[in-house]
């Protein structure tokens, strides 16, 4: 049972430390959460949406500017069609249910990934959410949908090669920022903290370029069980790390 007093104390502790400006989360373990309860996998995804709401509530008033959630990878199309269909309905459901709260909290929605590969109804829901929140200036909430880190880098390479072919760009003069300007995250700083739930210790093609210097935090907690307290613990751990960015 969540102890409100412990939560408030943990919140006080992290408030006095340096906040990660950008937190990215690999929300893993929905299927196992459901299996443990004898429920269909999609019940885990449904419960996973509640965990997203808890994170947003937990971040209220904290100086975290960006939250990027890995909701559907380019590899997730390999899942059974019924599960993919269910997942493709979640952005619409989430925006439908949460838009009032999102507006009240000044949250700006965004998406990274190949949106053109999503079903029309998913694209429409996302476009409406982005449009409705475009003037908001608070937390930027990005959903990574049909996202793959290698694909993102590959399309950046292609775009830069085209510019070179056109004589617009000299290959030997290509900079990090030229590459970054071709990524889905061109207007977002790199994550400071990446959290992965469910005990798996891997990155799974998430933000490969952007996490070069991110702090990585792995927890055994399954995503549907992830709470404000888990989030605060991850932030507290981040604050204890000594980030040197290759320096001393």
Interface characters, 140-179, with ligand FPP (x: CB under 6 A)? ---x------------------------------------
CB of 35 to ligand FPP, least distance (A): 7
Stretch that binds ligand FPP, among 11-19, 48-56, 134-142, 184-192 (CB under 6 A): 48-56
Residue of 23, 27, 125, 207 interacting with ligand FPP (CB under 6 A): 27
d(CA 211, CA 202): 12
Residue 76 DSSP class = G
Stretch that binds ligand FPP, among 25-33, 125-133, 185-193, 202-210 (CB under 6 A): 25-33
Q: Got the DSSP string for 97-116?
A: HHHHHHHHTT-EEEEES-GG
Cβ contact 228:58 at 8 Å: yes
Compute the CA torsion angle 93, 186, 104, 62 (nearest 10 deg).
Answer: 110
Cβ contact 26:70 at 8 Å: yes
CB of 184 to ligand FPP, least distance (A): 16
Residue 30 makes contact with ligand FPP by CB under 6 A? yes
In this structure, are strands 193-196 and 66-73 parallel, antiparallel, or unpaired? unpaired
Residues catalogued as catalytic: 28, 76
Nearest to 67, CA basis, from 180, 181, 143, 149: 143
Residue of 23, 28, 142, 183 interacting with ligand FPP (CB under 6 A): 28
Stretch that binds ligand FPP, among 22-30, 112-120, 132-140, 203-211 (CB under 6 A): 22-30
d(CA 13, CA 6): 11
Q: What is the number of other CB atoms lying within 10 angstroms of the CB of residue 199?
A: 13
Show the tokens assigned to 37.
């309860």
Cβ contact 172:141 at 8 Å: no
> Which one, 128 or 178, has the nearer CB to ligand FPP?
128
Stretch that binds ligand FPP, among 60-68, 89-97, 99-107, 226-234 (CB under 6 A): 89-97
Residue 88 makes contact with ligand FPP by CB under 6 A? no
- Residues 210-229 close enough to bind ligand FPP by CB under 6 A: 223
Task: Note the residues at the interface with ligand FPP (CB under 6 A).
Answer: 27-32, 45, 48-49, 52, 71, 76, 87, 90-91, 94, 143, 198, 223
């Amino acid at each position: 049972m969540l102890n409100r007093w412990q939560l408030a104390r943990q919140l006080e502790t992290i408030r006095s430390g340096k906040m990660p400006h950008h937190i990215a989360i690999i929300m893993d373990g929905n299927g196992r959460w459901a299996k443990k309860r004898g429920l269909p996998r999609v019940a885990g995804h449904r419960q996973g949406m509640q965990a997203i709401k808890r994170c947003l509530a937990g971040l209220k008033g904290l100086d975290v500017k960006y939250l990027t959630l890995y909701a559907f990878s380019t590899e997730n199309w390999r899942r059974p069609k019924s599960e993919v269909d269910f997942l493709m309905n979640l952005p619409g459901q989430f925006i439908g249910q949460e838009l009032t709260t999102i507006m009240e909290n000044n949250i700006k929605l965004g998406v990274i990934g190949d949106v053109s590969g999503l079903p029309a109804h998913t694209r429409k829901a996302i476009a409406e959410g982005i449009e409705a929140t475009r003037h908001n200036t608070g937390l930027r909430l990005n959903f990574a949908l049909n996202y793959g880190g290698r694909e993102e880098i590959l399309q950046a390479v292609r775009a830069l090669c085209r510019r070179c072919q056109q004589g617009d760009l000299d290959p030997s003069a290509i900079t990090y920022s030229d590459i970054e300007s071709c990524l889905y995250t061109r207007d977002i700083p790199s994550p400071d903290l990446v959290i992965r739930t469910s005990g798996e210790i891997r990155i799974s093609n998430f933000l490969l370029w952007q996490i070069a210097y991110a702090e990585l935090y792995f927890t055994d907690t399954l995503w549907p069980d992830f709470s404000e307290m888990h989030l605060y613990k991850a932030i507290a751990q981040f604050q204890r790390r000594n980030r040197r960015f290759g320096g001393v």
